[in-house]
A and B are shown apart, each in its own frame.
Chain A
Amino acid sequence: NAGVMQNPRHLVRRRGQEARLRCSPVKGHSHVYWYRQLPEEGLKFMVYLQKENIIDESGMPKERFSAEFPKEGPSILRIQQVVRGDSAAYFCASSPLRQNTDTQYFGPGTRLTVL
């Protein structure tokens, strides 16, 4: 029974390039959440998606960031034209039900470094 999978685990990009981060939720989970963790800071909510729908994107920067969770395949967090300030660890979490707080499982994260 695989947990949340994220890939790549480490991603290096130069300024101006695109970064695509993938998250495969626990099998059977239809709710996905993305969080960002800057050095020495706690996790900050970015976006909450349910299959094919964005439910809450209040934590997403208005420009360059987008997220999707298609009917088939993993959830994707896409960052266009990356800048050094985008360097962070990006975690996704999944749950089977909305607001089921005891079963929001986190993945191992993708560490993005922007040169």
Chain B
Amino acid sequence: QKEVEQDPGPLSVPEGAIVSLNCTYSNSAFQYFMWYRQYSRKGPELLMYTYSSGNKEDGRFTAQVDKSSKYISLFIRDSQPSDSATYLCATLSYNTDKLIFGTGTRLQVFP
């Protein structure tokens, strides 16, 4: 079983839609949860990070962590064509330095 599972998609939505991206993880030691956005042929760019359970909002993006079910989500409101990219979830436990990534979900927002 992979430590972080993520549906690879692709996910195709119309402009203005609300997008929900999800990951599950297996290790209860994970404390930090991140979402990265990766455009084609580019490096990952950190979008959001949360510590432990709860919600965090930044503009059109909301990150949600439910440690009881080991489930992490990223919501994108009013999606734009410029949001078209691969979204990677990642986790980190307190006593290590290596990020554990999901496989990434490819999102396409069409006009």
Contact = CB atoms under 8 A, between A and B. Distances in A.
Given A42-B88, A56-B96, A4 B43 contact: yes
A99 B96 CA distance: 7
A43 B98 contact: no
Contacts of A108: 42-43
Interface residues of B, number: 26
A35 to B, nearest CB: 8
Contacts of B102: 42
A101 B32 contact: yes
Given A40-B8, A40-B103, A43-B88, A104 B46 contact: yes
Nearest to A92: B43
B99 to A, nearest CB: 6
Interface residues of A, number: 27
A101 B43 contact: no
Nearest to B93: A99
Nearest to A91: B43
Interface string B44-68: 1110010000000000000000000
B98 A33 contact: yes
B45 A106 contact: yes
